[in-house]
Amino acid sequence: MNKSFGDVWRGAARNSNEAAKASNDATSSLAKGAVDAAKDTADALGKLGTGRIATGRERCATAANGAPDCRLAAERLCKSKGFGGGNSIEHETFEKCPALVLLRGNKKPGECPIEHAVTRAMCQ
């Protein structure tokens, strides 16, 4: 069976149109997947909140049981940077010695109390 040139040309055009449609469908599917992935990423980032990290140094109060209570210090640190409340994420412990003890060069037990301070806080 001999096909005419016109039949061959129409067949090639039909195959070309089908290939273009399949390519267009695949591209649309990929684009939709990319949009969905971007939306999911934006949603996940939104759930992290609008927290900011504040650095500084706020001394922690001593609780009734003698342990440091750094919750208020973290809030003060955040408020000093223009934020609302916050939570401590880093603190340090140090001795606070009077100048005379340091100049004397020998400290006696109890002369340099141990204190705690918040140095970083996650603020809201």
Condensed to tens digits (0 to 9), the pLDDT of residues 10-49 reads: 766 676 667 667 666 666 666 566 667 767 766 655 555 5
The token pair at 100 is 């005379």
The residue ranking higher by pLDDT, 67 or 6, is 67
Residue boundaries of the structural domains of the chain: 1-49, 52-123
Whole-model pTM over 0.75: no
Q: Tell which phi-psi region holds residue 56, choosing left (phi > 0), alpha (psi between -120 and 50) or beta.
A: left
Q: Strand, helix or coil at 92? A: strand
What does the pLDDT read at residue 110?
87
Cα 83 to Cα 79: distance, rounded to the nearest angstrom: 5
Considering the chain, what percentage of its residues have pLDDT values greater than 70? 65
Cα 120 to Cα 66: distance, rounded to the nearest angstrom: 22
Cα 102 to Cα 111: distance, rounded to the nearest angstrom: 10
Is residue 115 within 8 Å of residue 96, measured between CB atoms? yes
pLDDT tens-digit profile of 52-89?
899 999 999 988 998 899 999 999 999 999 998 899 99
Phi, psi of 23 (to 5 degrees): -65, -40
